[in-house]
Amino acid sequence: MNIEDIFSNLGGEFITPFIDIIEKLRHIKAYLFDWDGVFNAGIKGEETSSTYTEPDSMGTNLLRFGHFLKNNELPLFGIITGQKNPSAFQFSKREHLHFVYYNLLDKIEALDHIQITYNIQPDQVAFVFDDVLDLSIASHCGLRFLIKRGAGPLFKTYVKEKGLCDYISANSGSQYGVREVCELVLGISGVFSKVIDKRVEFGNKYHMYISKRNSVSTAFYTKKDGIIVEQ
């Protein structure tokens, strides 16, 4: 299975050489996802909450299971969203993510807080993002995945020229870009088939993983009086 060819033929762009992405992935212990424009199209309105899809949800679960199979531990996993988004909160609690950061105007503060709170270095973080507000974090993370948006050709060019992403997805946030990134990471890790086999089997390994995953209590962080606090 040639992972690079499969995803290139799909329309994904490897900005960093594939062999270098493999090396970067070896150091990853945490996955951080932006919300609007990543899990969805970013559509908002009065009294309207942006949503997520089950294919993307399954992708994140398979990714966490794959990391568990390969490393015998859960990866740190969380969401950062610019607003207080009920769907992001519900998803994070349902999937037992480690944290959600919300209502942060300067998103790099979240990465600084993660480093201190969870003893994770920026080069150990994989970040999935889509827009300008995410670049402060993308400039520091070890592995960066840009979710494609066809309407932003100049932004895409800027990110490529500045070296702010390693891979640009073929699919947008409204077309399961998260699932694409999750499967790519599993493919690069060499565990995709094993993850599917073990998930279908629903045996001891998956039960061990799901027990550890479901023991995670999601922390919610925001900024109050100039500092990030847990709510």
Q: Is the per-residue pLDDT at 82 higher than 90?
A: no
Largest CA distance in the chain: 52
Query: What pLDDT score does 43 carry?
Result: 87
The pLDDT tens digits of the residues spanning 132-143 come to: 999 999 999 999
- Going by pLDDT thresholds of 50, 70 and 90, the confidence category of residue 49 is confident
Beta bridge partners of 19: none
pLDDT for 60 beyond 80: yes
pLDDT per residue as tens digits for the range 169-204 = 999 999 999 999 999 999 999 999 999 999 999 999
Amino acid making up residue 216: V
* pTM, 2 dp: 0.97
**DSSP character for 100?**
E
- Which class in CATH covers the domain with range 3-216? alpha beta
Strands 125-129 and 143-146: parallel
* pLDDT tens for each residue of 93-103: 999 999 999 99
**Residue type at 65?**
F
Residue extents of the structural domains in the chain = 3-216
